[in-house]
A and B are shown apart, each in its own frame.
Chain A
Amino acid sequence: MGKSVEMTAGDTPPGDPTASLRRAVHQREGEPFADGAQPAVVDPTNSPGEDQPALVLEHATKSFGAVRALVDGDITLHWGETHGLVGENGAGKSTLVKVLAGVHQPESGRLVVNGREVTLDGPAASRAVGIAVIHQEASVFPDLSVAENVFIGREPLRRGRRIDFKTMNEQIAVIVERLGVRLDPRRIARGLSVADQQIMEITKAVSLNASIIVMDEPTASLSAHEVNRLFEMIETLRREGKAVLFISHRLQEVFDLCQRVTVMRDGRHVFTRPLAGLVADDLVQAMVGREVVDRAGAGGQRIGDVVLAVEHLSREGVFTDVSFTVHAGEIVVLAGLVGAGRSEVARAIFGIDHRDAGRVSVNGRPLRSGSPTDAIAAGIGFVPEDRRQQGLVMAMAIDRNIALASYDHLKRSGLIWGALERRFATDWAGRLLLKYGRLSGNASTLSGGNQQKLVLAKWLGRHPSLLIVDEPTRGIDVATKAEVHRLLEALAAEEAVAVLMISSELPEVLRMGDRTLVMREGRLVAEFSHSEVSEEHIVAAATGQTAAAGDLVTTDAMGHDTP
């Protein structure tokens, strides 16, 4: 189905410069090449027949065990275009990139580069056909100079096998100038910013005469200024006739930079279209496969007795005199800037950290300081911030992770019966709609969103009266995120669970909180009911002044924090 769209899209003239100029690419003064004076395509071997796509990947599949990461990977790149690739986490983008990089060999499918069908049996093969992949995190030899990093393993030599630093530095200077950036080739790579490391990688790609450049989320950790500079470089490369595949979670960037876009979902190609005429919602819908529904309306009618009572909780130098309550059936959100002490309060309530002063009680039962065991026995479940390190034992089986907190219920006369353990795990995995290969597989085999569901399953299996969730949707895809939201709402509304949620995403805070508490510098500074809360209120309270909402956390379509 997406195939027909693909073909029509492929018919648009490749590298149409006017198309790209319609997108406002930030022009820089003194850029080496005016639009009219495009240099000849650098790479003679590619001799890109303009009618011939730079790269065509068709029907690529790739599975890891039972997980089909790529079901139908399709992408067509033309010379002189920047092509966006978007999709949720787990949509198969990374796998597709790794196929192009030669890291993964697809089980089936066809890859045609510049008219020639090729098989990439390794990264070297990928490079040999002119593909350069620039990863989010560059691999850098910190003790070597920039030039040495760029030319590593292929240093130009002078007589006596001495490395020809002069040539290296000159070549880099030429490339860097062409790209319109600054980078001292003699500088030691240690301490280069992520942005400079990327410049180094791009320089390397250019020096390798790569004609197809794949960038996997290059902007994820760049500042706005650095993003602009990167875009200028990409645009320069594009105008030189290279094909650029640009992967990003930030749809606005795709609109700013790219001419065409390919959307993937669940390992499949959904569509490829010119960006002109599309709006962000089109992409989001294609990525999610349905419309994203927002909050149906606050609960709040069924608020019951106090479950969690925190009184004058203090921990030296971390937070001071924090008092609040959470009632049965209520979702209380702790908002605030990162570092305001929200997670630390949660850790102290759960007993991971000791408290210096104050009382915590659950259903009227006072908790000992520094005892997670006591907190769990009292009915608290805790979904920590770092699910890979704190939430799950990654190297342990899925079912055992689910059962880990519930063995006091699962033992019979002191022994664990395997059947009971598995039935328990199967039951909860099913209730949370966990997608897994096999329950005896390690937790590390799950995708991020499913790992988070696994952590939730572990605690829900205990039927907690209070669930503390710390950034439960960070880094998980839109669909699973919505699932987690609905789950928390259902727990509060239908099972009268008290939920204490920490979130740094304002939309999530606004949607979820029956009450919102704001922390600033270790103190509770404000409380809002669901009806009175707004982004402005939260931001003002969190920063201690009246400020624009966008300053706290803005959220793009993919739910990634953009500080």
Chain B
Amino acid sequence: MNPEPTADTGVLAEQAPSSGAEPPAPSPTSGVGEPQPGGTVLAYLSRFRVLARWEVALLATVVAVFVVGRVVSPEFLTSYNFFDMGISNGELAIMALPMTLIVATGEIDLSVSSTLGLASSLLGLLWMHGWPMPAIIVVVLACGAVLGAFNGVLVTRVGLPSIAVTIGTMLLYAGIGEILLGSNIVSNFPATYTNIGVYGVPGIGLSYSTVIFFGLAIIFGAVLHFTPFGRSIFAMGANQEAAIFSGVRVKRTKTILYIVSGIVCSGAGILYTFKLSTAEYDNGTGLVLSVVAIVLLGGVSIFGGKGSMVGVVFAVLIYAGLLDALLLTGFPQQASGIVIGGLLLLSVLVPSVPEFRSRLRAGRHRLQRQAPEAAIVHSGSVAQPRLTGDSSSKAGQGGQPI
């Protein structure tokens, strides 16, 4: 009942020696989770509490998928099968990496698979015209950068919504790819390159695309989680205006991400072409939705501001493992979308269950407030709101702050 110690002696504590009498980090309210020396590890972990729970769930799912895969087929846990999984999904997985960063800023890039297709067309076209392969690769990657920059400029400088812009460029880039190569199918690539569709990386056994994916995942993860660039991605994803007011270069950051996405996706197009040893304009068509599905399954918020690279890597493993296990069990491949789609829905549903429940509860209250049959006349109903003793037990789950 006494006036508690207030710590508002004002001013910078170091400048107000008079505050020395009071604890420098103040107040009765801050007692609980306050990071004290030694408690920092806990404080550190607590930051990732929610996130970690999601990633732990993903990891558990990865393990479950691989255990089930082993049960349904003895071939599942073989190095050949791992190579196979990587060959099938490597490009998709690679495209998920820049997508993760873009979605974390609150934007999206739906043109990734068209970029892949256009890269494949360009590769075939230039090879048809007798260009040397190293030059072709450089040109294709540069072209990817241009495609990404085009997206970036429309989104950041012109200020159009990224979903509309990239649906537009998705169609545009696919159309350009079709015009470039027409109905031609180029497949006379040298074996030095097409071997990546047949052999794994020496000593590792995984496909080149898989190894490139893991390598890039480490780089992208480090950028996202341990650099100022990554911090600014999360900041602008959560509140773009406040990020601008804090000196974050939102437009530049997003443009860079789109350019990186263009480069990475055209690189994926090169891998894709060599893997099939076929350049075709419709290479990679339709991959984009799987890419987005993986990113969301990995726990990246579609609204931006939240997510982690580890989660996306786990989501890739789940996706690849699940498809492969289904394939091995002879599950009709056309129907595999059911499983993937179901998984994605589950992934957005599960984390929102607590919120959903509280909303349900709030909704019920709202309804009651508007439909107070019991409350019109309060005779008798005075007794209805009962329970006093046990109120404390359920109070904990009552309202959330704010």
Q: Are the CB atoms of A416 and B228 closer together than 8 Å?
A: yes
Within 8 A of A (CB), among B383-402: 383-388, 391-392, 394-396, 398-402
Interface string of B8-30 (1 = CB under 8 A from A): 11111111100100001111111
Within 8 A of B (CB), among A197-247: 208-209
Q: Give Cα A438 to B47, complex, Å.
A: 9
Question: Hey, which chain A residues are within 8 Å of B360, CB to CB?
Answer: none
Q: Are the CB atoms of A98 and B399 closer together than 8 Å?
A: yes
Q: Is B183 an interface residue (CB 8 A)?
A: no
Answer whether A438 and B43 are a contact pair too, CB < 8 Å, given A154-B372, A393-B242: yes
Q: Which of A102, A119, A382, A405 contacts B388 (CB 8 A)?
A: A119
Q: Which of B8, B371, B392 contacts A483 (CB 8 A)?
A: B8
Q: Are the CB atoms of B372 and A208 closer together than 8 Å?
A: yes
**Chain A: how many interface residues by the 8 Å CB criterion?**
107
Q: Are the CB atoms of A154 and B371 closer together than 8 Å?
A: yes
Answer whether A415 and B222 are a contact pair too, CB < 8 Å, given A105-B395, A116-B382, A435-B26: yes
Q: Is B31 an interface residue (CB 8 A)?
A: yes
Within the complex, the shortest CB–CB distance from A69 to chain B, in Å, comes to 8
Answer whether A153 and B370 are a contact pair too, CB < 8 Å, given A389-B239, A438-B35, A440-B46: yes
Q: Are the CB atoms of B231 and A389 closer together than 8 Å?
A: no
Q: Give Cα A404 to B241, complex, Å.
A: 13
Question: Hey, which chain B residues are within 8 Å of A124, CB to CB?
Answer: 365, 368-369, 372, 374-375
Size range of the chain B interface in the assembly: 35 or more
Q: Are the CB atoms of A66 and B241 closer together than 8 Å?
A: no
Q: Are the CB atoms of B384 and A265 closer together than 8 Å?
A: no
Q: Which of the segments A9-17, A426-434, A500-508 contacts the partner chain?
A: A426-434
Within 8 A of A (CB), among B94-122: none
Q: Is A110 an interface residue (CB 8 A)?
A: yes
Q: Which of the segments A76-84, A178-186, A406-414, A538-546 contacts the partner chain?
A: A406-414
Interface string of B162-206 (1 = CB under 8 A from A): 000000000000000000000000000000000000000000000
Q: Are the CB atoms of B400 and A439 closer together than 8 Å?
A: no
Q: Is A355 an interface residue (CB 8 A)?
A: no
Q: Give Cα A256 to B386, complex, Å.
A: 37
Within 8 A of A (CB), among B22-52: 24-35, 40, 43-44, 46-47
Q: Are the CB atoms of A105 and B391 closer together than 8 Å?
A: yes
Residue of A nearest to B40 (CB): A422
Q: Which of A3, A152, A458 contacts B370 (CB 8 A)?
A: A152
Within the complex, the shortest CB–CB distance from B220 to chain A, in Å, comes to 14
Q: Which of A106, A441, A444 contacts B391 (CB 8 A)?
A: A106
Question: Hey, which chain A residues are within 8 Å of B249, CB to CB?
Answer: 373
Q: Are the CB atoms of B29 and A68 closer together than 8 Å?
A: yes
Q: Is A25 an interface residue (CB 8 A)?
A: no
Q: Are the CB atoms of A487 and B239 closer together than 8 Å?
A: no
Of the candidates B242, B383, B391, the one having the most CB atoms from chain A within 10 angstroms of its own CB is B242
Within 8 A of B (CB), among A379-425: 382, 384, 389-397, 400, 403-405, 407-408, 410-411, 414-416, 418-419, 422
Q: Which of B235, B247, B367, B385 contacts A118 (CB 8 A)?
A: B385
Question: Hey, which chain A residues are within 8 Å of B401, CB to CB?
Answer: 64-65, 67, 69, 445
Question: Hey, which chain A residues are within 8 Å of B9, CB to CB?
Answer: 433
Q: Which of B32, B391, B395 contacts A438 (CB 8 A)?
A: B32
Q: Which of A390, A432, A439 contacts B242 (CB 8 A)?
A: A390
Question: Hey, which chain B residues are within 8 Å of A373, CB to CB?
Answer: 247, 249
Q: Which of A45, A266, A438 contacts B4 (CB 8 A)?
A: A266
Question: Hey, which chain B residues are within 8 Å of A479, CB to CB?
Answer: 6, 8
Residue of B nearest to A108 (CB): B392
Q: Is A494 an interface residue (CB 8 A)?
A: yes
Within the complex, the shortest CB–CB distance from B360 to chain A, in Å, comes to 13
Q: Are the CB atoms of B396 and A404 closer together than 8 Å?
A: no
Q: Which of B238, B245, B305, B378 contacts A352 (CB 8 A)?
A: B245
Q: Which of A268, A375, A433, A487 contacts B7 (CB 8 A)?
A: A433
Q: Are the CB atoms of A372 and B247 closer together than 8 Å?
A: yes
Residue of B nearest to A390 (CB): B245
Question: Hey, which chain A residues are within 8 Å of B4, CB to CB?
Answer: 71, 266, 268
Within the complex, the shortest CB–CB distance from B180 to chain A, in Å, comes to 38
Within the complex, the shortest CB–CB distance from B249 to chain A, in Å, comes to 6
Q: Are the CB atoms of A415 and B226 closer together than 8 Å?
A: yes
Within the complex, the shortest CB–CB distance from B33 to chain A, in Å, comes to 3
Question: Hey, which chain B residues are within 8 Å of A32, CB to CB?
Answer: none
Q: Give Cα A426 to B25, complex, Å.
A: 9
Q: Is B234 an interface residue (CB 8 A)?
A: yes
Q: Is A329 an interface residue (CB 8 A)?
A: no
Q: Give Cα A106 to B242, complex, Å.
A: 35
Interface string of A477-519 (1 = CB under 8 A from B): 0011011001100110010000000000000000000000000
Answer whether A117 and B382 are a contact pair too, CB < 8 Å, given A418-B44, A438-B35: no
Q: Are the CB atoms of A404 and B386 closer together than 8 Å?
A: no
Interface string of A38-78 (1 = CB under 8 A from B): 00000111000000000000000010111111011000000
Q: Which of A117, A119, A129, A480 contacts B8 (CB 8 A)?
A: A480
Q: Give Cα A113 to B371, complex, Å.
A: 22
Q: Are the CB atoms of B375 and A396 closer together than 8 Å?
A: no
Answer whether A408 and B28 are a contact pair too, CB < 8 Å, given A107-B395, A266-B4: no
Q: Are the CB atoms of A405 and B246 closer together than 8 Å?
A: yes
Within the complex, the shortest CB–CB distance from A386 to chain B, in Å, comes to 8
Q: Is A121 an interface residue (CB 8 A)?
A: yes
Within the complex, the shortest CB–CB distance from B394 to chain A, in Å, comes to 7
Q: Give Cα A129 to B372, complex, Å.
A: 12
Q: Is A366 an interface residue (CB 8 A)?
A: no
Answer whether A396 and B235 are a contact pair too, CB < 8 Å, given A123-B368, A479-B8: yes
Q: Is A104 an interface residue (CB 8 A)?
A: yes
Q: Give Cα A480 to B230, complex, Å.
A: 33
Question: Hey, which chain B residues are within 8 Å of A414, CB to CB?
Answer: 227
Q: Are the CB atoms of B387 and A121 closer together than 8 Å?
A: yes
Q: Which of B27, B40, B227, B243 contacts A415 (CB 8 A)?
A: B227
Question: Hey, which chain B residues are within 8 Å of A1, CB to CB?
Answer: 1-2
Q: Are the CB atoms of B398 and A422 closer together than 8 Å?
A: no
Question: Hey, which chain A residues are within 8 Å of B7, CB to CB?
Answer: 433, 435
Q: Which 6 A-B pairs have the closest CB atoms?
A: A438-B33, A64-B401, A153-B371, A407-B228, A125-B385, A440-B47
7 contacts between A and B (CB under 8 A): A105-B394, A130-B378, A266-B3, A415-B222, A437-B32, A458-B246, A487-B10
Taking beta carbons and an 8 Å cutoff, which residues of B are in contact with A? 1-4, 6-16, 19, 24-35, 40, 43-44, 46-47, 222, 226-228, 230-232, 234-235, 238-239, 241-249, 305-306, 364-365, 367-379, 381-388, 391-392, 394-396, 398-402
Task: List 8 extra interface pairs beyond A106-B395, A415-B227, CB under 8 A.
Answer: A2-B1, A72-B1, A105-B399, A107-B395, A126-B385, A265-B3, A435-B26, A490-B16
